[in-house]
Amino acid sequence: MYACKALPNVSIMRLVRAQGIGLDTVSIQEVELGMKAGFAPDEILFTPNMVPFAEIQRAVELGVHVNIDSIPMLERFGAEYGGSVPLFIRINPHIMAGGNERISTGHIDSKFGISIHQLRHVERVVASHGIHVHGLHMHTGSDILEAEVFMRGAELLLEAVVHFPKVRFIDLGSGFKVAYRDGDIVTDVEELGQRLCTRMERFVEGRDTPVEIWFEPGKFLVSEAGVLLTRVTQIKQTTATIFAGVDSGLNHLVRPMMYGSYHHILNVSNPQGAPHIYTVVGNICETDTFGWDRKVAELRVGDVLAMLNAGAYGHSMASNYNSRLRPPEVLVENGVACTIRRRETLDDLLATQFVPEDDRTDV
């Protein structure tokens, strides 16, 4: 399942679906975008968090897989649908995983999922409402290196399956680490696949119904495919730092500021230039630093910089902060470039606003 929050462009979704991949969604809008991209309802998993019950009802109407991550929502779902609509239950395994706490979602203080220690309560709710549980789900975070983290989570879910005999799917989330720098260690998905397949072969022996294993990578699929291109607008030297200002900012790529993430920066206009140390910053009225003290080929005003690994959570987390416009998205496939999202204009900023016809201030 492709976690489309990483890059929810319909053209990308169609490209992903053509590879035989399903869709992981976290909002009802992502569900409906996925259906417009051609995904069938049974190819879509809906895993919301803290949403009104109306979104759950809409997902049921659309016929997608619904994933419930709190006991109150599970009780309400049971009261509304009983066992007529099968569902997934998201378990919080209490496993700290990922690069740091800001991208870990399976620890004890996470808002996501139902604690593994509340399974007895879940069993009672399921039994009292006759709920049909056909899937168990977990997601522990991002930038996970060790296959062991996934194996620990798999063991927890396999133990829980015993209490829900109709389970047909186990979703282990994702969090596969991609390379941000030369020499970075990445998740060994081959090792994980071998270990997990061996474990599942033992598990399904004697079961009447096999159990499918699902993963839901987002960043892993699109991060390295995306590049943010931006132009140098100023070279500004202070007493301690040489700043290279660009015509972009946290409104286009917020990950370095939000998560402290590293994105390699290349001068594609002068790749053979002598390297100098620059701090690359944006044009937003905030501290929007893309990279401190980066060694980059000599920069000149007008040079184009490439910020790598921008395919995931770049455009999808972009904003119009400072009333800046969002850039276009261009898909390059088989050497052919095609615009899949146009550049915004001032009219786009005004499209949802009510602009008075004159200077009156009447409301």
d(CA 337, CA 192): 35
pLDDT digits (tens, 9 = 90+) for 296-327: 999 999 999 999 999 999 999 999 999 999 99
* Degrees to nearest 5, angle at CA 88 with 84 and 89: 120
Q: According to the model, what pLDDT value does residue 94 have?
A: 82
Residues 85/132, Cβ–Cβ less than 8 Å: yes
Using pLDDT thresholds of 50, 70 and 90, give the confidence band for residue 185. Answer: confident
pTM confidence score: 0.91
pLDDT digits (tens, 9 = 90+) for 58-75: 999 999 999 999 999 999
User: Domains in the chain, ordered, with CATH?
Assistant: 2-222 (3.20.20.10), 228-344 (2.40.37.10)
* Degrees to nearest 5, angle at CA 297 with 294 and 298: 100
Q: According to the model, what pLDDT value does residue 104 have?
A: 45
d(CA 356, CA 354): 6
Q: Is 314 left (phi over 0), alpha (psi -120 to 50) or beta?
A: alpha
Beta bridge partner(s), residue 68:
89
Catalytic option among 4, 197, 285, 338 = 285
pLDDT at 97 over 70: no
Q: In 37-186, which ranges are continuous DSSP H helix? A: 53-62, 71-81, 119-129, 147-161
pLDDT digits (tens, 9 = 90+) for 45-57: 999 999 999 999 9
Q: According to the model, what pLDDT value does residue 140 have?
A: 78
pLDDT at 105 over 80: no
Q: According to the model, what pLDDT value does residue 359 have?
A: 56
Q: Which carries the bigger pLDDT value, residue 124 or residue 107?
A: 124
Residues with Cβ within 8 Å of residue 323, at least 6 apart in sequence? 349
Q: Which of 134, 176, 162 is nearest to 42 (CA)?
A: 134
Q: According to the model, what pLDDT value does residue 362 have?
A: 56
pLDDT digits (tens, 9 = 90+) for 209-230: 889 999 999 999 999 999 999 9
Q: According to the model, what pLDDT value does residue 182 have?
A: 86
Active site (annotated) includes residue 197: no
Q: According to the model, what pLDDT value does residue 229 have?
A: 98
